[in-house]
Amino acid sequence: MDALLFALVLEVALLQLRIQEGSTELRSRYWKCARKNEKAQYNKLVADRVMVGDVIRKSLVEVAELGQWNALRRAAQTQEGRARAAAALRLTDETLTQTQKSVVENLQLKRNEWALELCKGDHQVAVLRDKLKDDLLNAGTRLRYAERWLGARAEALELRYQWAGATAPRVDHEARVHQELVKSFELQIKEREASLEYWRVRYSDDTAQINERLANVRDLYMEAIKRRENLQSLYDLHEGEMRGWLTFKRERAARLAREARLRAAATRLQAWWRGVMVRAAFGQYKYLRHAKKLPAKGKKK
């Protein structure tokens, strides 16, 4: 009876769902989604209605065949899981939004600080530029003043001592000096070229020798690597035998030590027992009972 009532309730819910779908289709003919958010909500609503309809149909089939409604229970559990996942996503979104806001605020503060520092730097650059211009102008003024003062001083000295300036040099002397300078420059150029060629050849020879040494060292290392790989392979091949031999050596040493301890203990016991038999004169030493005892040696006076 309960299953029948539950089936009637599910059929009524399915009928109401169909009625709502029909009304939604009629409304959608005259209303269109203008925004993406509204379109997403509409698509979600349609998907939810389809899912609810499928769950109700499966539940009706299970109730009619088995008298159970596991499909409805699974759908409810699935919806609860989706709700928890959505809540977790909302919380994560809120956390990320707060983090983004804090990062944006920090970046804005940094931007303002950097802008202020940039303005200060521009102001300092402008001040230094003005100071440099002033220094250049003052230096030029001082230089012109010094040149004019020196010129006036030279004119005063010429007028005072009537000193005639030196005569202009001769043309052949200037040509000779020019030729000597050209020869000296050519000699310096040749020396520099010879030095450059020497160092170029030496650089090539040194690089060739270094490359050869590196090749030799590389060959040695490669041989060492191959030898080590061969030894490693040989060790891996005989690793079990070596471990067995080491185990045998340890066991043999322990066995020999144990036998040596047993032998020493047995010797000690045999010596003690032989002494007891000799002192008590029994066993194979019975004849000692009738033997004459030697007189004890007296102490020397």
Calculate the CA dihedral of residues 285, 289, 290, 296 and round it to 10 degrees: 110
The set of long-range contacts for 147-150, using a CB threshold of 8 Å and a minimum separation of 24, is none
The answer to whether the CB of 263 falls within 8 A of the CB of 270 is: no
- Tell me which range, 32-46, 171-185, 212-226, 285-299, is most confidently predicted by mean pLDDT: 212-226
Contact indicator for 281, 289 with CB cutoff of 8 Å: yes
Q: How does DSSP assign 74-136, residue by residue?
A: HHHHHHHHHHHHHHHHHHHHHHHHHHHHHHHHHHHHHHHHHHHHHHHHHHHHHHHHHHHHHHH
Per-residue pLDDT tens for 106-159?
Answer: 999 999 999 999 999 889 999 999 999 999 999 989 898 998 888 888 888 877
Alpha-carbon gap, residue 63 to 171, rounded angstroms: 129
Domain segments of the chain as ranges? 2-119
What one-character DSSP code corresponds to residue 67? S
Given this model, what pLDDT does residue 170 score?
74
0.75 exceeded by the pTM? Answer: no
Q: Is the pLDDT score of 301 beyond 50?
A: no
Say how far apart CA 281 and CA 228 lie, in whole Å. Answer: 73
Mean pLDDT of 256-281: 92
Least trusted range by pLDDT, from 58-72, 146-160, 233-247, 262-276? 58-72
Angle, CA 262 vertex, CA 259 and CA 265 arms, to 5°: 150
Of all residues in the chain, the percent with pLDDT exceeding 90 is 37
Helices (H) and strands (E) in the chain, counts: 5, 0
pLDDT digits (tens, 9 = 90+) for 145-199: 998 888 888 888 877 776 555 566 677 888 888 889 999 999 999 999 999 999 9
> Nearest CA to 56 among 44, 72, 67, 68?
72
Nearest to 21 by CA among 2, 44, 45, 41: 45
Contacts for 161-166 with beta carbons within 8 Å, 24 or more apart?
none
Helix (H) or strand (E) holding 192: helix 171-237
Q: What is the pLDDT of residue 269?
A: 93
Q: What is the pLDDT of residue 296?
A: 59
